[in-house]
């Protein structure tokens, strides 16, 4: 077996803990129905080239959103993102597009329908 050093499997894009509940109520001629549905646990890692998540890190023409403004500077060394540099998230498997735990997103959700 090959020794991959600190390589380990992270995340799971399959949705786990799916749930749903349908609530009905009526009182004095007023009816209310609410449907709650969601996924308790799911991981998402934005792929290389996903300019909606990576912004200027994937494409130089992408806008700098508020999310992208938390980048490294000498005054902000603990920023969420590195210094702005185009194309570092463009190709899968290298630089920012290399899967890592820092940018692994929680994709669990709760949807309410009335």
DSSP 34-57: EEEEEEEE-EE-PPTT-HHHHGGG
Domains and CATH numbers, the chain: 1-45+106-114 (3.30.1300), 46-98 (no CATH)
The Cβ of residue 33 has, within 10 Å, a number of other Cβ atoms equal to 11
Model-wide pTM > 0.85 = no
Q: What is the pLDDT along the chain (114 residues), one digit of tens a residue?
A: 577 777 776 767 778 899 999 999 999 999 999 999 999 988 888 877 677 778 778 777 776 655 557 888 899 899 888 887 778 877 777 788 777 888 888 889 999 998
């Amino acid at each position: 077996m090959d020794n991959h050093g600190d390589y380990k499997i992270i995340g799971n894009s399959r949705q786990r803990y799916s749930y749903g509940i349908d609530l009905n109520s009526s009182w004095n001629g007023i009816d209310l129905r609410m449907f709650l549905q969601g996924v308790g646990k799911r991981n998402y890692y934005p792929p290389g080239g996903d300019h909606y998540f990576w912004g200027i890190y994937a494409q130089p023409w992408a806008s700098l959103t508020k999310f992208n403004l938390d980048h490294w500077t000498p005054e902000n060394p603990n920023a969420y993102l590195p210094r702005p540099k185009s194309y570092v998230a463009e190709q899968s498997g290298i630089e920012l597009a290399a899967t890592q735990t820092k940018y692994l997103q929680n994709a669990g959700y709760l949807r309410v329908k009335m």
